[in-house]
Amino acid sequence: MADAAKREDNKTQFRGVIAKLTETGRFSESDADVAETQYINFIDNVAVKCQAEFAAFDTNTSRVDSLLYSHMVAPSSSSIKLWTCETGLASITWADCNSTSDSV
C-alpha cells in the first residue's frame, strides 16, 4: 500500500512539474500525457531495476543529466518526451520556481 501511495504522490508531483514547464513555455502541453506515461514506465521499470545505481549516485562527482540520459535516451527512444521534460527543467530559473500560479 505504501508503494502505491508513494507512486501516486510521485505522479502528482510530476504533473506539477509538467504544469510549470508548460506555463513557462518550456514544454508542449500536447506532450504532457505521453511524458507522464513515460515517467511511470521509467519509475516502474528502469528506476526499480537500477535502484542500486541510483542510490549510489554521487552528485559531487557526476552529473544527474548524464545519469538520466544513459537510462532515458541511450537505450531506446521510448522515453524521449520524458527526456525533453528533463531538459526543460534544466532551463528553469529561480524566478520561474518562485512565480505564483493557479495551475500548480
pLDDT tens column, 43-72: 888 878 888 988 898 989 988 888 887 777
46 domain residue, yes or no: yes
Rounded (10°) angle between helices 80-90 and 2-23: 60
103 domain residue, yes or no: no
14 domain residue, yes or no: yes
101 domain residue, yes or no: no
30, three cell numbers = 500536447
Segments forming the whole domain that contains residue 84:
2-96
The domain tally of the chain equals 1
71 domain residue, yes or no: yes
pLDDT at 101 over 60: no
91 domain residue, yes or no: yes
Global confidence as pTM: 0.63
16 domain residue, yes or no: yes
